[in-house]
Amino acid sequence: MQGIAVRTGAFVLEVTGDSFAVAGWGDFGGQEGSWEHGAMLVDAHCHLTGSYLASDQVEATLARAKAHGVTGFIAVGTDLDDSRTVLDMARRMPGVQASLGVHPHEAKSWTPDVAAALEGLLRDPAVRFVGETGLDWHYDLSPREVQEEVFRAQIRLARAVAKPLMIHTRSAPEATLRVLEEEGASGVRGIIHCFSEDRAFAARALDLGFYLSFSGITTFKNAGAIRDVAAWAPSDRILVETDAPFLAPVPYRGKPNEPGFVRFTAEAVAELRGIPPAKLAQLTTQNLEALCGWAPSS
């Protein structure tokens, strides 16, 4: 295809061709060193398929991550076809589990047939989350009323299959919380992925039983509100993620992200909370298992 707009928790990135160009990814030891904190990490949200990462690069990308202490990966689907590919990967690859759904950018593709097919995929034991789903009123790549309709439909699917949600929210904080509350999402809980709101939003999400997943944004010194929440949030409700290939943390800000870089976010969150990185890794892995019933060792 000529060029596509690929979504992320923070922006839309223009990509040319059929796959995301990851030139420049490679060994990231260098002056930053390696993860030497003992406990292993899980990347709670990454994109490893389709236009995000070419299929012949997946194994090498995950091998680099594992060499730097990241042993678990929640791979995320953003539409029906992508979800099928993600599920195939989760079935085949150790340490990878799936989150399947229709992203708000793709909500306009929703039909009864898509809903039925997605429900079938969601019942697979390798699927741990429903989504990513939610509202993106920044780019509005699907009409807002359609986004909300599809968001509600996927919350209902999550309740039907008894699996937690993977939530995307951008420029729609109040509407996102309203829909979660109205649809009884507290019954399944889930992740607010790439958390980028304030403490007031976090408190309401926590009241609904949701977990807060912090991305590379947490390493940005100007992200004061997010860093405040990362320092304050209950220790049993925090996770870390990359949202790869987007939102690379310092020291790789502005470059393509990859799952192994979650270590930099983990180190930043640990510093904000005043705990050792090993403790942060242990907490976040335990939290993921408490939420979805899976950790790399389970």
Q: What percent of the chain has pLDDT over 90?
A: 84
Q: What is the pLDDT of residue 2?
A: 25
pLDDT digits (tens, 9 = 90+) for 137-192: 999 999 999 999 999 999 999 999 999 999 999 999 999 999 999 999 999 999 99
Tens digits of residue pLDDT in 119-139: 999 999 999 999 999 999 999
Residue 256 in contact with residue 22, Cβ under 8 Å?
yes
Give first-to-last CA distance, the chain, whole Å.
40
Q: How large is the greatest C-alpha to C-alpha distance in the chain, in angstroms?
A: 52
Q: Where are the domains of the chain?
A: 42-292
Q: Which CATH architecture has domain 42-292?
A: Alpha-Beta Barrel (3.20)
Kindly tell me if the per-residue pLDDT of 17 is higher than 60: no
Question: Average pLDDT for residues 202-220, to the nearest whole number?
Answer: 98
Assess whether pLDDT exceeds 70 at residue 240.
Answer: yes
Summary mean pLDDT of the chain = 90
For residue 23, what pLDDT is reported?
32
Tell me what the mean pLDDT of segment 109-124 comes to: 98
Beta bridge partners of 15: 4
pLDDT at position 43: 98
Distances from the Cα of 75 to the Cαs of 56, 102, 259, 272, in angstroms?
Answer: 16, 14, 10, 27
Burial state string for 21-60 with b = 16 or more CB within 10 A and e = fewer than 16: ebeebeebeeeeeebebebbbbbbbbbbbbbbbbeeebee
Band of pLDDT at residue 30, cut at 50, 70 and 90: very low
pLDDT reading at 261 higher than 50 = yes
User: Quick check: 118 pLDDT over 80?
Assistant: yes
